[in-house]
Amino acid sequence: MKITFSIFSLLLLLGCGSESNLHEVSGVVAWQGKQVKLGTINFRSEDGQFVGTGTIIDGAYKIPKISGLVPGNYFVAISYPDQKTPAPKEGEAPGDYRAVREMLPLKYASGSTLKAEIKTGLNEVDFDLK
């Protein structure tokens, strides 16, 4: 019983230790002076792994501590899909897949050159894209 309790305690401590190194990240994203209405923001480690994702709603995003980021430097990709859905073409079913137009240039989206540094504590990381 003591061994089981000790192993459980050790696992609990290890889990808490790694979570305590995660930090909340939030901010505002604007494109050409206007807040991004609906989109996503992705933080990638320097080796290209996605490590944090947030939803942008009315310009604001928040990645809570529980799913936050460890301190370090990150590449950031932002997606701002066009919310206008084109009408189906003649003979096309209403639910058929249609490619969504990205509102941002590639340098902010899939080919992003954006970077952010995450520090210990709360992080406000804003992006004013032009």
Q: What residue ranges do the domains of the chain occupy?
A: 23-129
d(CA 42, CA 30) in angstroms, rounded, equals 15
Q: How confident is the model at residue 95 (pLDDT cuts 50, 70, 90)?
A: low
> Which pLDDT belongs to residue 104?
95
Tokens coding 94: 């209403």
pLDDT tens sequence across 39-87: 999 999 988 888 999 999 999 999 999 999 999 999 999 999 998 866 6
46-54 own/partner pairs: CB under 8 Å, 24+ apart: 46/72, 46/73, 46/74, 46/75, 48/75, 52/25, 54/25, 54/26
pTM above threshold 0.95: no
23-129 belongs to CATH 3.40.50.300: no
> Are residues 108 and 75 in contact, defined by beta-carbon separation less than 8 angstroms?
no
